Amino acid sequence: MEILGLNAFHGDASAALLSDGQLVAAVEEERFNRIKHWAGFPALAAKACIRGIDPASLAHVAISRDPRAHLWRKLARVAVRPGDWPRLASRARNTIQVANLASALSSSGVTRADQVRIHHVEHHRAHLASAFFASPFEEAAVVSIDGFGDFSSLMWGVGKNNRFDVHGTVRFPHSLGLFYTAFTQFLGFPKYGDEYKMMGLSAYGEPRFASQVRDVVHTTGGQVRLNLDYFIHHTEGVEMTWNDCEPSLGRVYSARLPEVFGAPRVPRSELEQRHADLAASVQAVLEEQYFEILNFVQRKTRLKKLCLAGGVALNCVANGMIFDKTPFQDVYIQAASHDAGTSIGAALYVAHQVLKQPRSFVMRHVYYGPEYTESEIRKELDDAGVQYHPLAGEELVDRTARQIADGQIVGWFQGRMEFGPRALGNRSILADPRRHDMKDILNKRIKFREPFRPFCPSVLAEATGEFFETDYPSPFMVQAYRIKPQQRERIPAVTHRDGTGRLQTVEKDVNPLYWNLIRRFGDLTGVPILINTSFNENEPIVNTPREALDCFLRTNMDVLVIGPFFLSKSENLQHSHSRASFVAEA
């Protein structure tokens, strides 16, 4: 029996398919339509997930929104604030879309609504399910923290076997995620999902504004409380706007924020030290609140295992300190803790919490997207007329590792595409972490990112303790651990300003090809670590061979390894769109 999970009409729309309790496919719509964080109905993703299955076996569709959740609170809010009515019209449209999921399923050709049972799963319950039911734990504390979803911003409880019970919730207008978003906007990063930029910047500052920032948010007894003087989302709305279905959030902070912290930074203007100091202060206060919540949950549950999801759970700096700051001894963080992961969570919720199925699945990797056969890849390369070399197994690994060790930048396209925000070794750009200049080279030649953002390491799982102060598995790049001081000079390109690295620990049985490549690089250099950044250039991560080839030819990448085929830029200069700059640099 199959269950299709959807995150629809919401940022990072996605689909996931459970088959007899096992996750068999998951993909974001943005990977197909190439619009970052796309927020409509994920028709292409859903069709990709159900391709090849018997239509009769698709019995359930679960969406991670419940328009009825906290309905009375929402209505009460409208009753006391009639001024909100016009704005509520646009929100109502979105709600109607969610409620009319049946027609969206039928009109998009995904399935006939009269053939499936449709389930609306409250947003945070979907987050919680995405963490607990994907974890290896039989019993654990479960926590979801984000901006908002279905009128809540935090939910916690206890998971045991095939169900979890909710013990606490934080409701609108209070939100730890919104606190972080407000300062992200204030610091000139206005786009949906830009919070990670402020997190990266925070390592360059001192938290000298922390006491003022503490006036903005306070957490006690598991309840987050915003000082609403600093916000307008509760008076003027926290409306998401959709520009061709690319979401953006309107300003959420009030005039009080610049009164206290000075002029907001204009986007793309120069970054000053005070901006980094404010980012450091906000990050420090977020960590205080985060650990206050986690310690409260631990005291209440007395459990030693923790499952985490929600957008705030992508704060890898805070996640890296969980073992130092709380009594939790094991943690499972959903790889797609942002809202894309709620498609997986909604499906898992229906399987276990609604249909009472026993658990038999652990999400150990994220390779649930589309893959392409060797002949499909070869055809793309032939159609493009590029030169390539088929290489077998060890030869492919050896040559690629040698190229990276020689300072080359390699596009690495293998197997099934990753689900979630991180490329984890199947759609990755790889480079040598030993070189001091590699971060600048990557930025100058391919990624064009803000210089304060770190590049991240993939490390052989068994070598984690040699380089990092914590060796607990971090398979999804959602934890930043301190790099041992004596090792930082060996891997400068992945050592962030604060001495941490946001690492991916790679286990042999999870991704044998990628593990082999890192091991071979380690044999050659003594450092079993690669820089791993997503295979893209200001776009969603590449999905198809054609997109990978275009990105390779468009940017100043040196090598493309796509399936068993090896391409070098120097042999394909006539096809390169960026030949002049490549030649100049070469």
Residues that bind Fe ion (CB under 5 A): 146, 149, 339
Nearest-approach distance from CB 334 to Fe ion, in angstroms: 11
> H helices of 231-272, where?
233-236, 256-261
Cβ–Cβ < 8 Å for 368, 24:
yes
Chain-centre distance for alpha carbon 375: 31
What is the number of other CB atoms lying within 10 angstroms of the CB of residue 72?
A: 8
* 420/368 Cα distance (integer angstroms): 10
The angle subtended at Cα 117 by Cα 114 and Cα 118, nearest 5°, is: 105
352 Cβ contact list (under 8 Å, min separation 6): 129, 133, 162, 163, 358, 359
Nearest-approach distance from CB 412 to Fe ion, in angstroms: 30
Closest by alpha carbon to 200, among 451, 567, 420, 388?
Answer: 451
Nearest-approach distance from CB 145 to Fe ion, in angstroms: 9
Nearest-approach distance from CB 226 to Fe ion, in angstroms: 17
Rank residues 25 and 131 by Cβ distance to Fe ion and give the closer one. 131
* 220/276 Cα distance (integer angstroms): 27
Closest by alpha carbon to 531, among 382, 429, 445, 463?
Answer: 429
Rank residues 42 and 425 by Cβ distance to Fe ion and give the closer one. 42
DSSP symbols for 535-562:
S-SSSSPP-SHHHHHHHHHHTT-SEEEE
Rank residues 311 and 454 by Cβ distance to Fe ion and give the closer one. 311
Nearest-approach distance from CB 538 to Fe ion, in angstroms: 25
Cβ–Cβ < 8 Å for 499, 482:
yes
Closest by alpha carbon to 343, among 61, 5, 62, 44?
Answer: 5
Cβ–Cβ < 8 Å for 455, 439:
yes
Nearest-approach distance from CB 341 to Fe ion, in angstroms: 9
Nearest-approach distance from CB 123 to Fe ion, in angstroms: 6
Closest by alpha carbon to 39, among 237, 240, 337, 186?
Answer: 240
Cβ–Cβ < 8 Å for 330, 319:
no
Rank residues 131 and 561 by Cβ distance to Fe ion and give the closer one. 131
Rank residues 151 and 565 by Cβ distance to Fe ion and give the closer one. 151
Rank residues 135 and 334 by Cβ distance to Fe ion and give the closer one. 334
Nearest-approach distance from CB 127 to Fe ion, in angstroms: 6
DSSP symbols for 353-396:
IIT-PPP---------S----HHHHHHHHHHHT---EE--HHHH
Rank residues 127 and 519 by Cβ distance to Fe ion and give the closer one. 127
Rank residues 339 and 418 by Cβ distance to Fe ion and give the closer one. 339
Nearest-approach distance from CB 314 to Fe ion, in angstroms: 11
Closest by alpha carbon to 419, among 50, 3, 35, 49?
Answer: 49
Nearest-approach distance from CB 422 to Fe ion, in angstroms: 17
Rank residues 146 and 288 by Cβ distance to Fe ion and give the closer one. 146
* 370/361 Cα distance (integer angstroms): 20
Which amino acid belongs to residue 553? Answer: L
Give the Å distances, CA to CA, from 298 to 288, 302, 313, 337, 539: 15, 5, 16, 20, 40
Rank residues 149 and 563 by Cβ distance to Fe ion and give the closer one. 149
Rank residues 149 and 205 by Cβ distance to Fe ion and give the closer one. 149
Which amino acid belongs to residue 295? Answer: N
- What are φ and ψ of residue 519, in 5° steps? -60, -45
Nearest-approach distance from CB 405 to Fe ion, in angstroms: 41
Rank residues 146 and 194 by Cβ distance to Fe ion and give the closer one. 146
Cβ-based burial of 585 (10 A; exposed 0-12, middle 13-18, buried ≥19): exposed
Cβ–Cβ < 8 Å for 159, 140:
yes
Rank residues 148 and 535 by Cβ distance to Fe ion and give the closer one. 148
* 334/86 Cα distance (integer angstroms): 37
Nearest-approach distance from CB 83 to Fe ion, in angstroms: 27
Nearest-approach distance from CB 46 to Fe ion, in angstroms: 20
> What CA dihedral angle connects 360, 136, 532 and 286, to 10 degrees?
130
Nearest-approach distance from CB 149 to Fe ion, in angstroms: 4
Residue, CB closest to Fe ion: 146
